[in-house]
């Protein structure tokens, strides 16, 4: 299982609680779409995850920006995942970002609003914010490998599933 998070916005730690904490602790890998804010928050995530694939966001300080790229692409069980904090142009810009990287799934953050959008080329996932939801449910996403892709769900802190989706591994 893979855990997907974004927008921690912490000065002290990972701010993981409830189902998000459980998911990160048992995940084979963790994707974080930026806005840790401080090096302490990034270090806290690295302490609980052996495989952290993260990017920096617009509110991350210089120390975090020096350690993390603005974008990255990773392979998770046959699915190519492109990660960024945000792209101008909304869903169209994110889909273009994914197409340029040959991605099946694009993970982004920034809005703190959990969402899944299916496009012609890829699935766009924003896991929301597990720590600072700004009027949205505190949430993260979980991806489970299945034959030919990943089954995904956006999950609230208490375990309530907000949305389920599937990502096919077309590009591997």
- Domains assigned to the chain: 2-168 (3.60.21.10)
Note whether 155 and 87 are within 8 A (CB).
no
Cα(113)–Cα(127) distance, integer angstroms:
7
The predicted pLDDT at position 172 comes to: 47
Contact indicator for 3, 31 with CB cutoff of 8 Å? yes
Please report which confidence band the pLDDT of residue 89 belongs to, taking 50, 70 and 90 as the band edges. confident
Distance, in Å, from the CA atom of 102 to the CA atom of 80, rounded to the nearest integer, reads 7
- Strand 105-107 vs strand 123-126: parallel, antiparallel, or unpaired? parallel
Mean pLDDT of the residues in the chain? 95
**Average pLDDT, integer, range 110-123:** 95
Using DSSP, how many helices (H) and how many strands (E) does the chain show? 4, 11
Record the pTM: 0.96
């Amino acid at each position: 299982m893979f855990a997907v998070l974004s927008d921690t916005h912490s000065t002290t730690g990972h701010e993981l609680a409830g189902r998000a904490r459980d998911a990160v602790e048992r995940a084979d890998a963790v994707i974080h779409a930026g806005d840790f804010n401080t090096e302490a928050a990034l270090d806290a995530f690295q302490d609980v995850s052996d495989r952290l694939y993260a990017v920096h966001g617009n509110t991350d300080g210089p120390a975090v920006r020096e350690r993390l790229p603005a974008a990255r692409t990773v392979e998770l069980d046959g699915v190519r995942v492109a990660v960024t904090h945000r792209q101008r142009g909304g869903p169209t810009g994110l889909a273009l970002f994914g197409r340029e990287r040959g991605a099946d799934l694009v993970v982004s953050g920034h809005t703190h609003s959990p969402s899944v959008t299916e496009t012609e080329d890829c699935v766009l996932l924003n896991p929301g914010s597990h720590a600072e939801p700004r009027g949205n449910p505190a949430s993260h996403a979980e991806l489970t490998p299945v034959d030919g892709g990943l089954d995904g769900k956006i999950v609230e802190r208490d375990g309530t599933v907000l949305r389920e989706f599937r990502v096919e591994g077309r590009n591997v």
